[in-house]
Amino acid sequence: MKNLFVALLLVLPLLSGCTKKENEIVIGEYDSLTGSDATFGLSTNKGVRLALDEINAAGGVKGKKISLVTLDDQGKNEEAASATTRLITQNNVVAILGGVASGRSKAAAPIAQSHGVPFVSPASTNPDVTKAGDYVFRVCFIDPFQGLVMAKFASENLKVKKAAILRDVKNDYSVGLADVFSAEFKKRGGEIVADLSYQAGDIDFKAQLTQIRSKNPDAIYIPGYYTEVGLIAQQARQLGLKVPLMGGDGWDSDKLYEIGKDAINGNYYSNHYTTESTDPAVTEFIKKFKAKYSETPDALAALGYDAAKILVAAIERAPDLSGKAIRDELAKTKDFPGVTGKISLNENRDAVKSAVVIQVDGNNRKFITTITP
């Protein structure tokens, strides 16, 4: 009797799992919900959930509701890889909304590719990410463009002649972006007077900053993630380095100002969208996001929202729920009206979109200019 009871307990969840599956389409998501870039994952997840809630409220897709399984990669590449395996082999997801950090996407995307499960990264900008194969897509621009944007802004708008670089040497995103900036800035007649390294998790950057100070740059390019960038800004100002600091989308977090305080104010970074947009699609998105979460959506939230909508649109068009059918429709994405711009995926499965330059203004992100490819 006791055995039968135990057996029933084991079988029941399986049975309910089966029926559940018939009226549901399961999408997987992994991201950094904890760790030193946790706002990346938390914001992305909020954007994804807003999109899916809207879709489900409007009746779902193919007559089914969409359910989302979200796993935490803790900001670690190996966790991103195992989360992806788990989503595919245990949760049987039809597709994966991949994470933010390029390093993590590079670890996870090949796994999705090898299982034939479509993978859409909302925000990974390193060019290598989508090279994992034809099941791997992204809805953001890539770093060869993002690096060019800041090199152009530095030389044309800020009139920088001598720049220093401080890169996170273990982060694929940071290294890629630093290399592009360096090449593009030199092409424009600029000089790189120092190119130094740190590693995520470091807290003391004084040695590098002292060396940079001795080279008298007009600006410093720091393509890292917000936690270290906030600390670097503080220490740069303490050492009397007053020149503009510049960065990429990895700066985009409310924590940047919380950590960097006045030292980060007035500095510039490239990003995916601006909250100052007057496009009705954007203002509507911001209104809905604020109503749900009582906060202003950052770029990750906006990209998560767009990635989820683009994936579901492909699922809707696909003749069936196979990885191949969904993949084929994703590849046809053209002129999708996203909140981060009009999104078309090119032959490399990357989006070609404009970027904005933002100036840190306390907790506001002041729009400076748009740069189109």
Q: Which positions touch ligand PHE (CB under 6 A)?
A: 40, 100-102, 123-126, 173, 249-250, 252, 299-300
| Separation of alpha carbons 22 and 2, rounded Å | 31
Burial letters 16-42, b for 16+ CB under 10 A, else e = eeeeeeeeebbbbbbbbbebbbbbbbb
Looking at the DSSP assignment, which residues form a beta bridge with residue 69?
28
Please say which residue, 124 or 333, places its beta carbon nearer to ligand PHE. Answer: 124
Residue in 238, 234, 237, 194 with CA at minimum distance from that of residue 217: 194
Please say which residue, 217 or 305, places its beta carbon nearer to ligand PHE. Answer: 305
Instruction: Give the start-end residues of each E strand in 87-202.
Output: 95-97, 119-121, 136-138, 162-168, 191-198
CB of 61 to ligand PHE, least distance (A): 26
CB of 28 to ligand PHE, least distance (A): 19
Question: Angle at the Cα of 176 (from 172 to 182), degrees rounded to 5?
Answer: 150
CB of 258 to ligand PHE, least distance (A): 16
Please say which residue, 33 or 243, places its beta carbon nearer to ligand PHE. Answer: 33
Please say which residue, 130 or 333, places its beta carbon nearer to ligand PHE. Answer: 130
Instruction: Give the start-end residues of each E strand in 181-235.
Output: 191-198, 219-221
CB of 174 to ligand PHE, least distance (A): 8
Query: Using the 8-state DSSP alphabet, how is residue 156 labeled?
Result: I
Please say which residue, 68 or 101, places its beta carbon nearer to ligand PHE. Answer: 101
Tokens of 146: 């993002």
CB of 229 to ligand PHE, least distance (A): 11
CB of 230 to ligand PHE, least distance (A): 14
Please say which residue, 24 or 254, places its beta carbon nearer to ligand PHE. Answer: 254
